[in-house]
Structure 1
Amino acid sequence: MKYLMNKTKYIFLFILSISFLGCEEEDEANLPEVVAGFTFIQSETTGTVTFTNISEEAQLYEWDFGNGTTSTEINPIRTFAEGTFTVSLKASNIAGASNTFEDQITIDIPDTMPDFDSGLLTNGGFEAGGDSWTGNALNVQTEGGNSFNLANVETAGNPFDVNLSQVVAITQGTNYILSFDASSDQARTMLAGIGLNEAPFTNTTVEVDLTTDMQTFTLQLSAADFGGANSRVLFDMGAAVGTVVIDNVSLVEGGDGSDSNTGGDSGSLEACDGGELVNDFETADDSIFNNFGGGVGSIIDNADTSVNSSAKLGQYVKNAGEVFGGITIALENNIALNNGTFTIDVNSTSVRQLLFKLEGLNQELILPTSGAGWETISYDFTGQSGEVTGITLIMDNGTQGDGTADWTIQFDNIRLCGNESSGGGNALEACDGGELVNDFETADDSIFNNFGGGVGSIIDNADTSVNSSAKLGQYVKNAGEVFGGITIALENNIALNNGTFTIDVNSTSVRQLLFKLEGLNQELILPTSGAGWETISYDFTGQSGEVTGITLIMDNGTQGDGTADWTIQFDNIRLCGNESSGGGGTCTPPAAGEFITDGGFEQNAGCWQLINNGGTVTISTTVNNGGSNSGQIKTTPGSNPALKQERVGAGTITPNTTYVVQFDIQASTTDVPADGAVFQAFTFSEPAEGSTDPAVQHVLVTGDASFPTTWETRTYTFTTAASVDGGVSLLLELVCGGAGTCTGTINIDNVSITAQ
């Protein structure tokens, strides 16, 4: 019997060990296999290589570029010297599994140095050594194995006693343009000009910065008082002892002879025809910058004028650990925008998604920089009009900076191009086929919900010469109030779909009038003229849903005083161009314990903001994970389309409390996000409506390049900030970098925010 029991025990242990072994093998088999891989595109002229990560089932990446540098970016961009490099990528998942892929790249940059045209001079590029040049500074040498030579000048320390010159025929009474490249081992003052040995030269003082990079100088010179075959081009090197490098000297007829040093050429930077210069930063100082969230703006000297010839530049740094760090640039005068395009010259060493925002209008666009030096970026605000009070720049909003050169840009020459006349006058215009929302003829003061020191009332029209109505609405912003406004109740909710609202307004001062659609949380800000009655048009094209009221706020954030300057009359609110909303209904409240409204997208975007930002955001009626609809986001190169809900749970969500965000996500099988597309999700703890305090951002996920092609539920938690009186906002976005092949489509469904 004892033998039988022992034998039975051994058989049981044997079976048990097989069971455990089988489970272990099954678990290992169920773990996704990490596969590392990448492709790359290289520039044949610059040595810049753009890597596209095609790894599978990985979340962590370690790059080794074979030149002593590494990275943990998903899709890095690097510039290599000439040679052959073995690049390796180790891809890992959070469970510790990894895989490595490597490939070789060969960089062979062709010699594209153009032949230099010296104009009236010979050997302006010193290709023939010192031929045709004389002077006690002459010392031509070849540097770095390149095909061009430099005149390398050792100064003697005596004021303007070391020179370099060439004989050239000058025609008296003619203007000339002298251009050249120069660098110095220290900041120095030198002279350059034309003239005769026995007569004073037409010289211009040239300030050469401390830089190893060549600066380009262009001088306008006049030969009004001299001329002849034995004239000279002359450089006096200045008193500072050290080394000066001169190259690419050219002399041609032309210019205005103004002796002005214009400093360099425009290179690849393009000024739009007829553009109005907003700021070239030549006379500005750091006081023009309002820095926020870890962004720092400053005015700096231009260390390299080879492409951008300006003496001064703006510089913007996003500091380490900051996700929202930016700068707002103050304007000398507000800008009256009407269908204009802004351009800005930008110098960057990394690809950055640069947000350009028009303060006063609350309009913004995001475009990528190339990361390859100076370029002109154009932000098209066609269809927008109003008063611009400042310009805000933010790099890669939502991504942490590090304060290095990778998170630094220089910028210059902000211009407004193609701006149309904003018209004027005070004739009132009713849109064709417009639906009258309210003419205030039969209303009383009970339609107004006044807040923050704003007061709405119905008054008699004392002057019917422009507006013939008997009754008007009037809105006053009282003394000391910064947020005083009014909300106008509607007789019935409005089903909006791509409509434009107009309102007749009478003001004696220019006021930034915010027009907000309650229920959609959509708002636009446009200026009044301050010149009497006018019709202002608020275009909500692309927006749809149920409007439950209309809010007006004058100059949000600025104190009123209760006088006529802070009083407007208004009349005849109309809805124009509204399309059939094609179904849906009112935005029903969320279920008990939840805060997101219409998380299943069944009400045709009535509760969601669809933010295209260069891509396309729609409500899909063919893809869903339960119900009939889902939110669909399609991205394109340089865009960041998003779905957003603002200020949910105001008055209910509590501070310093953990909440859970959950949603389902699926990538399109025919347009899987690739070539730099990443998914990001953020929540924001909002202060009370009208507060000047900023929202606090909570990063749920950033830079996520893992896209399931079947529905997957994702869950994140965050803890609200100490101030959350305005509720919580949620943003879900699909971001593309600068790669021209970047693309992708995802669907989102069943979104919720609940307490933990």
Structure 2
Amino acid sequence: MKYLINSAKQIAILILTICLFGCTNDDSKYPKVVAGFTYTVNPATGTVTFINISENSKNYEWDFGDGETSTEINPIKSYAAGTYTIVLIANNVAGGSDTFEDEITITIPTTPCTTEALESINAATLNMTFKTEPAAGTIVNDGADFAWVSNPSFDNALNSSCKVGKITKLGNNPWDNTQINLNAKLDFNTNGGLKMKVYSAKPGFKVRIKLEEIGNPNNNTELEVPTTKTSEWEELTFPFAASQTNKFNKIVLFFDLNANNKDTYYFDDLKVYAGTGGGVTPGAFDDGLLTNGNFESGSSSWIIGVGTDPAPVKTVNGDTFYSVNVTAAGNSYDVNVSQKLAIVQGATYTLSFDAWSDRARSIIAGIGLSGGDFSNTVQTVNITTTRTKYTITVTASNFGASDARVLFDLGAAIGEVNIDNVSLFLQGSGGGTGGSGTTTGLAQNSDFETGALSGWIVFQNGGTAALDNTTSNNGGTWSGKLVTNGPSNPAFKQEAVGAGTVKSGDKITVKFDVKGSVVQPGAVFNVLLFGEGAAGASFTHVFNPAPTLTSTWTTFTGTYTIPSNADVSKGLSFLIEAVCGGDAGCKVTANIDNVSVTIN
């Protein structure tokens, strides 16, 4: 009996040991979620910028203590005076979570902002200052929420007004927008275009204004302008040609079109401005594909390196130019000035600029990527104390991107460097000035037979845009394929082709082979042509009728004559897209091949 009792004890100890040392805690597979945040407060405005320092988390739920919430990572919030308890819940993909809270006290100055004296929603005198809350029906939400709110940053010279418009995208569709209905059609004979002040914590976003005719959305035109400031007000200008007079009585605002996000944007002082319509000023400096190549708008569009810091400029006797003094020699890229733009792989460009120094020294000039491996094509240029125009030819042999750049690297030698009148033109586009295009004309890699997407900018936008060699292609191995996937608009695009070749009054023919299928309702297949000018898109044309998709290859041909006063100094862009809205079952599948864009 004693033996049995001892054996039982030994077995019990063995089982306990296995339980203690043989089992693992499944929770150890996932790092612990730690929620936390810090913040900065603008005491003049009551605007709080939250800085999320949570660890091992993916999703966030903010409660701002005043009834508002957010799922942004680093939200910005404007408070009235008072004390608020802010709660952040951080979650990971495994369901783990943590909560952190802190209390903020906001004290607002007694004279925080300027009350607007005027406002107008009339087309003839449009000036949306948000002095009062817009009347019901004036503003229509289409995938974005509008609110009349306090100015998040009024301690500045550009926009000290008390009230502004706030746009919060809902992230449902890439085309979330806000629409403003006017009482009459806009006049661009008397007015030169539209201006608008914008503000957001999101860096580098673009603002597109689309003008439409109420009840006839196919009658439209649009312009897109990039922003250059973050968490700071700036005024954007949208010059519309006089030919667009008396056509449109609806304004559609897109903030970061095709970015399916839930970010927040503010705007104010949307108004018409006096002028004589859009277009290039006669005798103005032609900077080709660039913007502000003569620096007469200061640092606008020019940056240091690939960041957002503006390039330094100097004005002497009324002439503004880039200027920097290199006091210590190092890597050539340590001192840099760049401008981002689309560069097409395989294309050849002519880069011209004026340069001079306080001594004989060399600089590096060319084109390249603004990220990744920073591939580039550059040349060394020797400059002197005499202001001289230099011209080089550069080819983007093995790189291309929509956010590539023109670059000048100046850090390898000491001395002052001055640069002015920079221009960039695409070589070999079309068939020469005033003549007919080649077989493919202005299009690059038009038959996709490189087996790569060089020359094309691809937008997935919730669907698929890719090369395809699985179908019976039309005259080769490869074609481009677009497939929607629920609410989506995948697209192929080529930007700023034919700069220096196309001109106002030219007749443009867009032609390509296509086959595919659609499932209605809500399915659309579009072809768009854009004029690229110094201030952005000078016109937008949607070809109507659009291509018809069938199970066999057919050829689509569309023609358009560039308006006589359209600015196409930066060439043309064209886009081929498949679109499905929110209709259940909608689907578009399309293959395209043998694309040509020619001047006739």
TM over 0.5: no
**TM-score, normalising length from structure 1?**
0.33
Higher RCO structure, 1 or 2 (CA under 8 Å, sep 6+): 2
**Greater Rg by CA:** 1
**TM-score, normalising length from structure 2?**
0.41
